Amino acid sequence: MSWNGQIKEVYSINLTNFIILPIFKPLGGDIDGDGKKEIILLGFFQKSTTNEITETLKDKIYVIGNNIVAIDISHITGDFHAPPVAEDINFDRKDEIIIPFLVEIYVIDGKGNVIWNFDKVGGEILSQPVVSDIDSDGKPEILFISRDGKIKVLNGEGKLISEYEVWKRDEIVEVGASSLALVDIDFDGRKEIIGWTDEVFMIRNGVKVWNFIVGGPKGDFEPPLVVNDDGDFKIVVTFANRIYTLKAGKVKK
Ligand SMILES: [Ca+2]
Ligand SMILES: [Ca+2]
Ligand SMILES: [Ca+2]
Ligand SMILES: [Ca+2]
């Protein structure tokens, strides 16, 4: 394949009265199971003809496939907080949309039906959830960091199956948290969990095995990038004008 040096617009769509929240990047997900991904946007639908956001706003997810479909989620109450994610967590070949609110997670299908919600998050949800099969049993887990300093691990049915401690501090920790990178660094069939708050950390078999203090911002964390350099993993964390590249080191089995 070669690139002919050209780029063309496939389509552009004017979403009248739809306000996309800046922190929510568009998601790709196949929510109708036809094998093609839709573009999923989360935002507010504004009925008013004025530019003011009014009390009549309804929260909607826009799904852009061959045509635009709006999924009304105004029956779900909560404040948008961290970005949503689209993954198939129940093996029906359709991606569900996992929406983290301040203190609750909702999973909805492509019609807006609530599949489950989970509200025992232990304080606000700090990170975009990630979906990954961390124990290689063929079933996906959903992981995020909560204000109580723990990574919550939910199964595909929304049950809390594990909690892993990231920080143990008495004072209220004000920093935010990145979403988590899940990589099997030592090739033992279980994924290690790498993330960062004011420190980069790695959790292996449920226990924090190292941390590296980087300081940095209090919010808007880019997820860590884990690069496999021929089996020699490097972890890249960037913020402001700094890049940290860490070597995970040998992990004893
Ligand atoms: Ca589709
Ligand atoms: Ca599904
Ligand atoms: Ca699993
Ligand atoms: Ca491992």
Give the pLDDT of the chain (253 residues) as one tens digit per residue. 678 888 888 878 777 777 887 777 889 999 999 999 999 988 877 765 555 544 445 678 888 887 788 888 888 877 777 889 999 999 999 999 999 988 999 999 999 999 999 999 888 899 999 999 998 899 999 999 998 899 999 999 999 999 999 987 666 667 788 899 999 998 899 999 999 888 899 999 999 999 998 876 666 678 889 998 887 889 998 877 788 898 876 544 4
Long-range pairs, 11-17, Cβ under 8 A, ≥24: 13/64, 13/68, 15/41, 15/62, 15/68, 17/45, 17/46, 17/47, 17/48
**pLDDT at 151 (0 to 100):** 96
Instruction: Count Cβ atoms below 10 Å from residue 88 Cβ, excluding itself.
Output: 17
Residues paired with residue 99 on neighbouring β-strands, in sequence order: 106
**pLDDT at 58 (0 to 100):** 64
Distance in Å, CA 185 to ligand 4 centroid: 5
- Residue 249, CA distances (Å) to 84, 102, 195, 243 in order: 32, 36, 16, 19
Distance in Å, CA 112 to ligand 2 centroid: 13
Distance in Å, CA 174 to ligand 1 centroid: 39
Point out the ligand nearest to the CA of residue 248.
4
**pLDDT at 239 (0 to 100):** 77
Distance in Å, CA 156 to ligand 2 centroid: 10
Distance in Å, CA 142 to ligand 3 centroid: 9
Long-range pairs, 228-233, Cβ under 8 A, ≥24: 228/183, 231/187, 233/183, 233/185
Is residue 31 packed enough to be buried (19+ CB in 10 Å), middle (13-18) or exposed (0-12)? buried
Residues paired with residue 58 on neighbouring β-strands, in sequence order: 45
Nearest 5°: the CA angle 232, 236, 242 is 145
**pLDDT at 8 (0 to 100):** 87
**81 near 70, Cβ under 8 Å?**
no
**pLDDT at 1 (0 to 100):** 67
Which two tokens mark 243? 């890049």
Surrounding ion ligand 2 within 5 Å at CB are 88, 90, 92, 94, 96
Distance of CA 247 to the CA centre of its chain: 24
**pLDDT at 252 (0 to 100):** 43
Nearest 5°: the CA angle 192, 196, 199 is 110
Collapse the DSSP code of 2 into the 3-class scheme (helix H, G, I; strand E, B; otherwise coil) and give the result: coil
Instruction: Count Cβ atoms below 10 Å from residue 101 Cβ, excluding itself.
Output: 20
- Residue 225, CA distances (Å) to 29, 164, 178, 182, 234 in order: 22, 21, 11, 10, 8
Reported pTM:
0.86
Residues paired with residue 86 on neighbouring β-strands, in sequence order: 97
Distance in Å, CA 95 to ligand 2 centroid: 5
Structure letter (DSSP) for residue 80: B
**28 near 15, Cβ under 8 Å?**
no
Distance in Å, CA 108 to ligand 2 centroid: 9
Distance in Å, CA 133 to ligand 3 centroid: 4
Which two tokens mark 81? 């907080």
